[in-house]
A and B are shown apart, each in its own frame.
Chain A
Amino acid sequence: MSGLVSSLVPSSILAADAPARIATPEVAWRALLPIIILLVGGIVMLTIASLVRKRPTARWYAPYTVVVAVAAGLSAVPLWARVQGWDSLLWWDLPASPRGPFSTVAGAVGVDGFGLFAAGVICAAVVLGALLADGWLRREGLNGAEFYALLLIAGSGGVIMAMADDFIVLFLGLETLSIAVYVLSAMHLRRVQSQESGLKYFVLGAFSSAFLLYGIAFVYGATGTTNFIGIRNYFGPPIKSATGVITGGNIPVHGGLLVVGLALVLVGFGFKVAAVPFHSWSPDVYDGAPTPAVAFMAGAVKVAAFAAVIRVFVLTFPNFVTDWRPIVEFLAVASLLAGAVLAIVQTNIKRMLAYSSISHAGFILMAVAAASADGTSAVLFYLAAYTFMVAGSFGVVSLVSGRGDNRTSLADYRGQSRSNPGLSLTLTIFLLAQAGVPFTTGFFAKFYAVAAAVGSKLTWLAIVAMVSAVIAAFLYLRVIIAMYLRETDEPATGRIPVRFGAKLALGLCLVVTIGVGILPSVFLNPAREAIPYLVEPPAPTPPPGPAPTTDPLTGATIPKAQTTSTTADPLSGGAGG
């Protein structure tokens, strides 16, 4: 590996006597491992499945996907150890010199705790999606490699978004994620709603991508760069370089171009997280799409999109917080209230959960609006908790909905507590967790979001959020009432068979939802350590001596002291504790 890395260390652009070479940026391949594993894993799967004439037995798809996703998640662990400056990881002693967050690929990809945490959550969503898909695909007679491959590719897109330090890379990730998810939504061949939802999602998603691109163009026009570090420096304090050129310290005289750009970027992300008023696709898509796909995308797409929101707004444009915060506050209030109120009047459980997820997005937006270190960790905690809660909820829904994915009305849940006590209890726990009942992750998620908002003097927003949580609680109660408290009706369904994969997925979600609900530090401490950073890429001039590629992970040579001094992280004030 070290040989590979040293061969990739670029030669100096300034070296005049060197033969003309294309200056390739230094790439720390190990830092990209989570992305690569997911992507390659998906492509390999597709390739094998399409080349082998006799398709491999169906039962290997899900375990393969799980193994790939777990490997991707584990590959982030050494990076995490390096970013956090751990002395040792299990029994490996880590080198002392290159520690702390860094960026690679010429500053286009940032490796920091924030991105790695989000990457871990996305990998978990892939695992849960694959486990749930196993039984579902067989039930529907759709088994094939495509679903799993798309899950993996979507996951890699999400991780790219979470680690992007450049608008172009961000957009690449977004499209990789989105296109895979469009196809996932339309996966159910025999169900017209699924086709419809895929098309709807695609058209509206493409529309939102256009908004995003347009916004990026505006931002580029205002700052002359698409790189977050470049943008941050452009508006940051002026720095005089060795050659006497002063960079940075710019103040937009007429901020219109930039603010319009930011607003358009926010619209693009608003579509992805289904924030009101950009939410109208989500109930239709959640209703029509295959339920395991919904279980995956409800978590993973939100994680990726919110990670991008934090990277762009909180991290790159902290100076413009007064410009973007009111918009985010508006989106948060609208999502909270509209999501909760519209959820109550639904009679289809998938649409209900779609609206409730809009309400959850409002909660997360509230934590974003806090624009503080507490807010960022609250966002991460919420996303991690939500991924498991929502995957569990939709997991049960996918089981109850039966062959054809049609039994999704509230009436189909009547009396389930008698015919399927285990499933009912499981769904009840996930719904109560979403309602924010103590000793579940949902409670702490809401608690930290509220704490972050109050800490940033957004108490009014916190009150709105809690009131909307009460309204939303009614919707969860409706499902619970249908399952438990309507004794007069005959159970809507008989006993539902649950495959091992689904059992495992639901069990995992339960363990996390209750376990972390009792010991929140399990998620909270990493979430607090997962601080987003914008780190300058190492200077392109190679040192005269042998390349210091002793670092096992990358060729980056920034010592820790320098790292922290250059980061000038806007959030680091309260982040250390």
Chain B
Amino acid sequence: MGAVVFAVEAVVPHTNSGFPVLAAMIALPLLGALVLALIPSSRPELHRLVAIVTSVSTGALALWVLYNFRTEDPGFQFVVSHTWVATLDIKFYLGVDGISLFLLVLTGILFPIALFAAEPDQNEKGYYVWITLLEAGCMGVFAALDLFLFFLMFELTIVPLYFLIGQWGHGRRVYAATKFFLFTMLGSAFMLVAIVSLAVLAHAGEGGGTSFDLLKVAASTSVSRNTARWVFLGFAVAFAVKTPIVPFHTWLPDAHTEAPTAGSIDLAGVLLKLGTYGFMRYGLYLFPEASVFFAPVFLTLATIGIIYGAVVAAMQRNLKRLVAYSSVSHMGFAVLGLFALTTLGLEGSVLVMINHGIITGALFILLGFLYKRRHTYDIDKLRGLQSVAPWFAGVFTLVMMASIGLPGLNGFVGEFLVLLGTFVSHRWWAVVSAVGVIIAAVYLLWAYQRVFHGEPDEDNKTFPDLHLTEKLVMVPLIGLIVFLGIYPKPVLERVEPSVKLLLAHVEAFAPGFHVANTQDGEKLQPVPGADDSSSPGQEQGSQEPETQEQGEGR
């Protein structure tokens, strides 16, 4: 696994190659949006073409980054840095490490798929402009290494989604869009004050001045412990709304339900990760002490979210709402693993983010296909689809099983690692949260049974099965679901160095905190391969007594 760097400051950001690929990944969608805006509305086919070309090439850049990523380098790579506002040390500063790498790739993959999977019913031009802008914003959030740039991009994602939901959504779309906008804005309001406070108080700039440079601010020690906790809460509100963590989640079911298919895919697949990613990069990294201090709170909220989301999902009559609440539950796992503050937990958390993006994206695509045929998401109106649409049922089953967490599919790996990592440091939270996995099986299987089993009635008899293009759209996602389920190593070996570095940073800056790993935590290979996916568990189990002592010692 290479030499793990303990001296946190020793990690030098790396540029990998001369080409500023991360900047290109933001600039390309922006450029695409501009081109789209300039094409007259009378050429809808051109709009679709430009949007697809833009997002496919952005995705290709993301894959290029993945390919050229230096696996064992825990620091930031592909770094781009340009001064923007010199007086405040605001920079156009981008970089990618193991944690953000796969979120960038996920963004790059899901956006083209969302475009292929769904078409707008009206006003193509606006639709594609907003989607490409949204992609730029998401890329920017994951790549930003400057607090100010991050906030800017974080905010930039709100407006496009507002319009996507409000203009192309279903039913109570205006209500849902406005609710989404105001909730997120409220979170951001606190975050802006927190960011500015931090930038001013950290004295990380030249001569103790203001600086928004993430690395400089993280290395600063001039913020007092109490202040840091308050500032952390400012960030936490924004991320808790975005993730969403119960009780800040109420915008999500509305937004999900009323959003158009592509909006739902991007919202669930990418945008929710802004919250958990934010917790990791801007919570843990900037406020190690405060994160450790507040970890029990967030663990508890995450556990409540897991159970609550799953229970509420079981009660839903609307399939989209069901998936929305299941997102609350799954994102709870991501938060749980994050605040477990163990290597396994953090790795699991990253994996959950990626897997949830893929699975929920796939589910929303399938629901989009369903809506196109039946114009309803109502479970009561659907019946017996298995016999009339076997392909649809088959694909749905696979994705659903992944969501439930069937071993061998990708949903399992992340949640397993999260539970494992949490068990090491916070045993009871893990035990309670594990119930969520069981309830997930309940609500999904029950919904499946009601929708797909039985005899189709009059309305459902003519349900057409998936046609070729629809199948093709599903191929990459199904492939990823299976591949990452069987062989998550390529992901884990890239995530792990960065996660370890992050935890080393937390240890260095949070007095009295030690990562509750297994005794020889550094040698542990928490990479469940194809056939030995249970081996870390055994290893973990054997180490349990010691780790438990550590956990209680804190």
Contact = CB atoms under 8 A, between A and B. Distances in A.
Nearest to A518: B84
- Determine which residue in B158, B182, B196, B200 has the highest number of CB atoms from chain A within 10 A of its CB, and name it: B196
Given A432-B159, A437-B159, A455-B200, A463 B193 contact: yes
A481 B182 CA distance: 14
A438 B156 contact: yes
B209 A577 contact: yes
A462 B193 contact: yes
A525 B158 CA distance: 29
Contact of B196 (A450, A486, A524, A528): A450
B443 interface: no
A439 B84 CA distance: 13
B182 A473 contact: yes
A481 B176 CA distance: 12
Interface in B85-127: 85-88
A58 interface: no
B167 A484 contact: yes
Contact of B166 (A439, A481, A521): A481
B192 A450 contact: yes
A504 interface: no
Interface stretch (A218-226, A251-259, A464-472): A464-472
B521 to A, nearest CB: 39
Given A451-B200, A484-B166, A438 B155 contact: yes
B190 interface: yes
B167 A485 contact: yes
Interface string A457-490: 0010011001101100110010001001110000
A454 to B, nearest CB: 5
Contacts, number: 83
State the main secondary structure of chain A at its contact with B.
helix
B197 interface: yes
Interface residues on A, range: 20 to 34
Given A477-B181, A524-B85, A438 B152 contact: yes
Contacts of A469: 185, 189
Interface in A430-448: 432, 437-439, 443, 446-447
A131 to B, nearest CB: 25
Contacts of B173: 485
A561 to B, nearest CB: 25
Contacts of A299: none
Interface string A506-539: 0000000000000011001100100000000000
- Determine which residue in B84, B85, B148, B177 has the highest number of CB atoms from chain A within 10 A of its CB, and name it: B85
Nearest to B37: A425
Given A485-B166, A485-B167, A473 B185 contact: yes
Given A437-B159, A485-B173, A525 B189 contact: no
Interface string B198-239: 011000000001100000000000000000000000000000
A455 B205 CA distance: 14
Contacts of B151: 438
A87 B190 CA distance: 44
A466 B181 contact: no
A64 to B, nearest CB: 35
B263 to A, nearest CB: 14
A467 B85 contact: no
Nearest to B197: A454
Contacts of A450: 192-193, 196
A485 B192 CA distance: 29
Contacts of B174: 481, 485-486
A454 B159 contact: no
B220 to A, nearest CB: 16
A344 to B, nearest CB: 11
A467 B156 contact: no
Given A474-B182, A485-B166, A439 B156 contact: yes
B544 to A, nearest CB: 44
Interface string B30-72: 0000000000000000000000000000000000000000000
A474 B183 CA distance: 11
Contacts of B81: none
B438 interface: no
A235 B210 CA distance: 32
Contacts of B85: 520-521, 524
A481 B162 CA distance: 10
Contact of A474 (B153, B159, B166, B178): B178
Contacts of B209: 577
B530 interface: no
11 contacts: A437-B158, A438-B156, A443-B155, A447-B196, A451-B200, A454-B196, A459-B197, A469-B189, A470-B182, A474-B178, A481-B174
Which 10 A-B pairs rank lowest in CB-CB distance, beginning with the nearest?
A466-B189, A438-B152, A438-B155, A485-B166, A470-B185, A462-B193, A454-B196, A451-B196, A470-B186, A485-B174
